[in-house]
Amino acid sequence: MIPFLKTLIQNVNLISARTYYFFVCFIFIAKYSFNKLNFGFVLQSIVVILLMLFVGYIAYLLQKFQRKIPHKRLFYFTLILAVFAMIALTNAVNWNTLEVDRWSAFDVAIKSVLNQQYPYDKIDHLGGRTSNFPGLILLGIPAFLLHNIGLFTAFSVVIFGASILKKNTSEKALLVLLLLFGSISFWWESYVVSDLMANFLLVASFLLLTPPDLTRLKLAPLLGISVLAAILAYTRIPAAMLIGTYFAQQILELRNKTELPLKTRIHKLLSSLTVLVATIAFLTYWIFSLAPNWQTIETYNPFSLQSSYLPLTVNILCGLLPLILLFFVKKGKLQLIKIGGISVAVPVFLSFGYTLREYGWNACIYDSKFDISYFNMALPFVIILIASSLPNTPRSEQQPHPTTE
């Protein structure tokens, strides 16, 4: 049974990734275009099939003409053009007219903290409250100080682009960008100035760039990675699950023999975990000490809000899922990316199915009983897996990338 499960998980990744990508495109088109144009199911299906054929054709061209296309120059051109387009889009929109409050919840939270006020009981422009953890509030401060919270997504895209180019051949990195910028849901995120996908672009970048064995690093970069890991883990519950899985992987790596003594490796890993916990403790104190009393924290906090979409038992099982997958997903450079895609997508689909059962399709999608933007959390991992299916260029034509060790 276990060997069968391993084979199933390892072979289903690519098919599932492509299906997920087109499903997310379909559901965004269905909500924001088809519903307003009164498209029937047949027309919806035709549009999605055409979209699938277009993306498949782009991948085919990249593969067929990979020796003739200046991938790296095209990569930089695409990235720069998309970032400028994102900034122009966010500046062109009157944010206060948006029916989505992610931008204002983010903005109000940061403004409150900078004014030494507790952020989680403050009201945004639609009467909602922020569910962002302290790490995300910290990461959003530079964009807030530049008077454009939408720049947070632009910064995240640049970091993500640099990460995929460092860890992949230029043609695969270009395909990742084309899939990202070819996604309807990505531009919807930019239009409504949401921080959701940007959050997981940063998490995916972290998992791509971090070394497979932390204990090989010197102490200073090791502790720096630990601080960064703590900040990213303290952005959202799924992010904490993935960062926790990375450190669980590091503990499992202690079984493998290296030139370093086991005692030294354990000491380094314990130092890293200590800094991780200390950073989270500091962020917790920094934000929650602003509350006027304990009752305010009990009533208004991000933990209860982010875990309220599913029953408690399902939340616990979803929290354990990435650790379970660690033993089933084949070890390699994309192991954590595969685990990330599955671990983030499964709770979202369960929540979507639960809401669909309760309210039906029309209320779930068109009346916004379910927030379909949660599907965007897994998209960075999904597009990396799709691009990884592109055959490698002959070795002589690949540009070497520096190792992380």
* Among 216, 148, 220, 200, residue whose Cα is nearest residue 336: 200
The DSSP output letter for 216 is: G
Using CA atoms, how far residue 47 sits from 32, 61, 183, 185, in Å, is 14, 21, 14, 15
Residue 260: count of CB within 10 angstroms of its CB: 12
Q: What is the pLDDT of residue 40?
A: 56
> What are the boundaries of each domain within the chain?
2-390
Q: Residues 375-389: what's their mean pLDDT? A: 90
Confidence of residue 292 (pLDDT cuts 50, 70, 90): very high
Q: What is the pLDDT of residue 347?
A: 86
261 has a pLDDT exceeding 50? yes
- Segment (H or E) for 364: helix 361-365
Kindly state the tokens that stand for 151: 């720049």
141 has a pLDDT exceeding 90? yes
Report how far Cα 233 is from the mean position of its chain's Cα atoms. Answer: 12
Backbone angles phi, psi at 115, to 5 degrees: -95, 15
Which residue type, as a one-letter code, is found at position 301?
Answer: N
Q: What is the pLDDT of residue 15?
A: 65
Tell me: the pLDDT tens digits for 322-369?
888 888 887 777 889 989 998 888 888 888 888 888 888 888 888 888
Q: Residues 116-139: what's their mean pLDDT? A: 91
The DSSP output letter for 292 is: S
pTM above 0.95, yes or no: no
Backbone angles phi, psi at 336, to 5 degrees: -70, -30
What percentage of the chain exceeds 70 in pLDDT?
80
Question: Could you give the residue ranges of the DSSP H alpha helices within 168-234?
Answer: 170-181, 184-191, 196-209, 219-233
227 has a pLDDT exceeding 90? yes
Q: Residues 136-151: what's their mean pLDDT? A: 94
Mean pLDDT of the chain: 83
10 has a pLDDT exceeding 60? no
Which is more confident, 207 or 323?
207
370 has a pLDDT exceeding 90? no
Q: What is the pLDDT of residue 293?
A: 93
* Among 97, 82, 130, 165, residue whose Cα is nearest residue 287: 130
Q: Which sign, positive or negative, has the C-alpha torsion 242, 14, 86, 124? A: negative
Confidence of residue 303 (pLDDT cuts 50, 70, 90): confident
Burial status of residue 348 (CB atoms within 10 A of its CB: 0-12, 13-18, 19 or more): buried
Confidence of residue 247 (pLDDT cuts 50, 70, 90): very high
- Segment (H or E) for 167: helix 151-167
Q: How far apart are CA 277 and CA 140, in angstroms?
A: 21
Contact present, 188 and 371 (Cβ < 8 Å): no
Using CA atoms, how far residue 299 sits from 34, 113, 118, 311, in Å, is 39, 18, 12, 19
